[in-house]
Structure 1
């Protein structure tokens, strides 16, 4: 049976920043309270410093401060996991210990970065230890529940996720892994789900690609989530899942086809724009004050702004009250429709 945490809807939280890209501490508090003060809180969880939260571009001090702020606001009302990334394994282990010392409930592990040998050219099927050795070092240092971010070189069979054999091998080697983030193409998702259900049924299938959630729920292949789409579409996403759980397929279909599907398919249409669009949609809704992520990540385009606004409206999601003023402030034009 899956761990209780693996049945929760974890948000891969964005990082609220000011226009100069320094931490927006008040913004982090407001964003955390948005989740905390919602019906989502009884079923949710927060991941601070994930990829969507710009962990690759944060200093050690910023990472710790972001964790501190979220933990202060949450005050044990829902679980908080910390994404942990560093260029070397020794630094990573130190950062992992720091996160535990601050009081997180678990860690969100991320594959190593840097040299092409362990990134774009890595063969995870033949050399799973490239990441497994790092996870083991983190696990030994803190002994906390683990959620994974299993990104690897793209493949026709799995998309950007790691192969089934690697997933099972890593889960077998690290019993503290309670949930596997499903970072896969649709066919890859099905393969991984079946492999883990057969070999490690206690490891939760954590839905990630929100444009697949309708099908994932229909096939009972989603136990919880690790997903950034909660940052901008919490209300219809929660209603959609609850409709499925209550057996109300008519309602679930109505929500899905009432704009939620179209929004999610647009956000996930280009993997190279995914987190940029998370950020844009959350900013348009008034949940963060800076529409851009830290360079070298690019800012949204006018085309994306216009499309996202239309899709948010179609999904019945509110946008910020000062929309026109803020669009002009950041160099975009107000859509002719007056959205």
Structure 2
């Protein structure tokens, strides 16, 4: 039943329905910087093209993987415009618009709508604690600043934001705002995931944000994964999704173990310098880290090369 649900969603997206939801393998993109620390839009274009060529179903720039808190509003808008333009409707593109202030979030979300993105993701307020009432008011204000046919995904990553979005709060937001259609949940709690999945009588979309849980999340009823590791190695994640769609669960389990092995070597996104270096090793120049984050040291690069060489080849998937 879940396989058919996902297939139907994918077909709806291709038919150009008013609100395109996320599904399958949606890649959380890194943001390339040049040697002087400026955003490199040429590299953003090349990375976008690389990911589409590998069969991902959606793109999610400017989130945690994209070093969002290190970019100005102007830089974020430039990256968003570049990804939307380069993708040219070939895959679903959601722009992450969450920022440190409500006003900035609204400006970034409205910009994404104006440039033709398919929707936005919005992380909870960050660092400073926010009550349930404050989270609800924040999301309602952001969603109501947009057309009601422009979809919004809530984004809960409590280990980074310091604020946890409860399912009952998400449900209250969705009840008030018809354009709030789903959530990206980046904490490995399947009980909470089930609570999200029951919002709106089961009509609330859930995308798993923990790469290693892609297959069990699909089996639970999620529509897919928003994956940072797939920015470097899309192939095993796309293969998991394809096997699951075919109903070949044994193959999907084997492929998930391969995807998990890549997650472990790349430190599951705890340090984006591993992503950028691994992309370089693949022939994709994703630039450098922006201070205060630093690039890998030579001995770390050597260790990464050794660990990657020991993994199953993506050419054999």
TM-score higher than 0.5: yes
Q: Which residue of 2 aligns with 1:23?
A: 39
Structure number with higher relative contact order (C-alpha < 8 Å, ≥ 6 residues apart): 2
* Matched-pair contact (CA < 8 Å) for 1:50–1:83: yes
Partner of 2:134: 130
SS of structure 1 residue aligned to 2:194: helix
Partner of 1:149: 155
- What's 2:187 paired with? 184
Instruction: From the superposition, tell whether residues 130 and 261 of structure 1 become closer, same or farther in structure 2 (CA, over 3 Å).
Output: same
Corresponding position: 1:113 with 2:126: yes
Name the SS of the counterpart of 1:6 in structure 2.
coil
Deviations 1:49-77 (A, max 9, x none): 21211221112221111112112212222
Distance in 2 (alpha carbons) for counterparts of 1:302 and 1:163: 43
Measure the CA separation in 2 of the matches of 1:274 and 1:129: 33
Between Structure 1 and Structure 2, whose CA radius of gyration is higher? 1
Partner residue, 2:313:
316
Tell me: CA distance 1:303–1:278, structure 2 relative to 1, closer, same or farther (3 Å): same
Deviation track 1:161-194 (CA, whole Å, cap 9, x = no partner) reads: 5334444344334332222112112xx1x11222
Deviation at 1:106, TM superposition (A): 0.8
Task: Give the direction of change, closer, same or farther, for the CA distance of 1:274–1:221 in structure 2 (3 Å limit).
Answer: farther
- C-alpha contact 2:43 2:285 (8 A) present in aligned 1: yes
* Alpha-carbon offset, residue 95 of structure 1: 2.5
For structure 1, the 5+ residue unaligned runs are 319-339
What is residue 323 of structure 1 aligned with on the other side?
none
User: Structure 2 length normalisation: TM-score?
Assistant: 0.81
Whether the 8 Å CA contact 1:293–1:299 is kept in 2: the answer is yes
Where do residues 1-339 of structure 1 align in structure 2 (5 Å cutoff)?
Answer: 4-40=20-56, 44-113=57-126, 116=128, 118=129, 122=130, 127-143=131-147, 144-152=150-158, 162-185=165-188, 188=189, 190-200=190-200, 201-217=202-218, 219-257=219-257, 259-268=258-267, 273-290=270-287, 292-302=288-298, 304-313=300-309, 314-317=311-314
Q: Deviations over 1:216-267 (max 9, x none)?
A: 23x333212222121012112111221122122332233334x432221343
Cα deviation for residue 301 of structure 1 reads 4.6
Contact 2:184 2:206 in 1 (8 A): yes
In structure 2, runs of 5+ residues without a counterpart are 10-18
**Equivalent-residue separation in structure 2 for 1:82 and 1:31 (angstroms):** 15
Q: Which segment drifts farther, 7-16 or 20-29? A: 7-16
Distance in 2 between residues matched to 1:268 and 1:204, nearest whole Å: 27
CA distance in 1, matches of 2:51, 2:243: 20
State the shift of 1:8 in Å.
Answer: 4.0
2:22·2:92 contact (CA, 8 Å) conserved in 1? no
In structure 1, the residue corresponding to 2:233 is in which secondary structure? helix
Change over 3 Å in CA distance of 1:161–1:262 after alignment to 2: farther
More deviation, 50-59/160-169: 160-169
Question: Are the counterparts in 1 of residues 241 and 252 from structure 2 also a CA contact under 8 Å?
Answer: yes
Moved over 6 A (4+): none
Name the residue aligned to 1:333: none
Alignment-derived partner of residue 328 in structure 1? none
